[in-house]
Amino acid sequence: MTKGESNLVSHTTGKEERFSCKTCNSKVYAHLHHLSHKAIYNDMFTTPNHGPDGKIGEEFAPTMHIFYTSGNTNIVDGLPKYEDLPAAFGGSDKKVDEKYHSPQPSAVTNCTASCLCGACQVETVGAPKWVVNCHCSQCRRALSASFATLSGFDPESIKVIKGESNLESHTTGKEERFSCKTCSSKVYAHLHHLNHKAIYNDMFTTPNHGPDGKIGKEFAPTMHIFYPSGNTNIVDSLPKYVDLPAAFGGSDKTVDESTAKTCTASCICGACQVETTGVPKWVANCHCSQCRRALSASYATLAGFDPESVKVTKGESNLVSHTTGKEERLSCKTCSSKVYAHLHHLNHKAIYNDMFTTPNHGPDGKIGKEFAPAMHIFYTSGNTNIADGLPKYVDLPAAFGGSDKTVEN
């Protein structure tokens, strides 16, 4: 413990003792006495920073799901789904299919929700207006979770019926969250920007969303919001919004669920940085003389994105541009390394592949599958033979407005 030990409060259920901040009620770590381990809630790490930008270190990536049947969310990620614990943790080692859960029919009238210890309770009238999974950094860090599942109601439809004096609130941005003073679990939030109150879906006791993994059809999430800000891919066919849908006052932009992630690229000295949403539309090795001479290299590996998907997040005033033909290249003033280019003829921006820091293409020679080049362009203009089985275009493929002519490897 390096800071604020006196500001921590603990609450124990079963064999797990959870430690929360007295000020904001967010959980920091837990003592798992049955496993003789302490566990930090993954989204609470600040070094490495798992909070605001959706990045997560390889060593921190989950390797399994435990007590999966007790939950109410299907996560299609290829990881093993244990009924309880793996044998190495003293469990049954039994696994289930990742699409285990299905919504249950229910007739909704009045519902109740409670904190973990039962000291605080709220009641609602009718079913939710909407149910969403929110991946914003505020929700993830406030709940010490991968995302928050919120059920939205008109403010007058939610009434505290027990323990009102035991609730305390903490506000970040436009969201005021209400937690129990005793167990620090969050019960509901007031979303002032949406003029709604939202109950955290797993806190419902009528219908009971807690112990048995069943969830009423009216409480099933219909979308994910602020998805690129998170660090978990959920394959469930629900729309994944960059921020909010238009009905909520957002941009209405969505990303593909299987590839949505945020990537960063940087110059060699780190003074300039860009961020992308999603993976590249295409990746090509360009052998044209302009690219070769601009980079002082045998060819340039370009990862193409829609222009609005590339955003300068650091050192914009330190970038200088130079245009040859229809390609505008942006370099760092300090170290002169090139970060990205605007390909005006293709209406794309392209990041030089080796400049990615997340995923890290620099020091270790590894490259993500989505970033692997699929072709060589302007191959005959170059001076290097590459025997890799990829198509070698004389200029550009037809899809890029070229002749579609290729030459032998």
**Quick one: fold of 262-407?**
2.170.150
Residue type, 248: F
Q: CA angle at residue 151 from 146 to 156, to 5 degrees?
A: 140
pLDDT of residue 125: 86
Burial class for 97, CB neighbours closer than 10 Å (0-12, 13-18, 19+): exposed
Q: What is the mean pLDDT of the chain?
A: 87
pLDDT of residue 205: 86
* Within this chain, domains 110-255 and 262-407 share the same CATH topology: yes
Q: Where are the domains of the chain?
A: 5-89, 110-255, 262-407
Residue type, 188: Y
Give the N- to C-terminal CA distance of the chain in Å, as an integer: 59
Distance, CA of 300 to CA of 287 (rounded, Å):
7
Tokens at residue 292, please? 């070769």
Residues 6 or more apart whose CB falls under 8 angstroms from that of 207 comprise 106, 108, 111, 214, 215, 216, 219
**350-394 pLDDT, tens per residue?**
999 888 887 766 555 567 778 889 999 999 998 888 888 999 999
Contact assessment for residue 293 and residue 382, using Cβ atoms and an 8 Å cutoff: no
User: How far is CA 280 from its chain centroid?
Assistant: 17
For 98, other C-beta atoms within 10 Å of its C-beta total 17
pLDDT of residue 262: 75
Tell which residue, 59, 9, 388, 29, has the closest CA to residue 184: 9
Distance, CA of 79 to CA of 224 (rounded, Å):
21
Q: pLDDT in tens for each of the 409 residues of the chain?
A: 889 999 998 989 888 999 988 888 888 899 999 889 999 988 888 877 655 555 666 788 888 999 988 876 778 777 889 999 999 899 999 998 877 776 655 555 688 999 999 999 999 988 899 999 998 888 888 888 888 999 999 999 999 999 999 999 999 888 999 999 999 999 999 999 999 999 999 898 887 765 555 677 888 899 999 988 887 778 788 999 999 999 999 999 998 765 546 788 999 889 999 998 778 899 999 999 888 888 888 899 999 998 988 999 999 999 999 998 889 999 999 988 899 999 999 999 999 988 888 776 655 556 777 888 999 999 999 888 888 899 999 999 999 999 999 998 6
User: What CATH number is given for 110-255 in this structure?
Assistant: 2.170.150.70
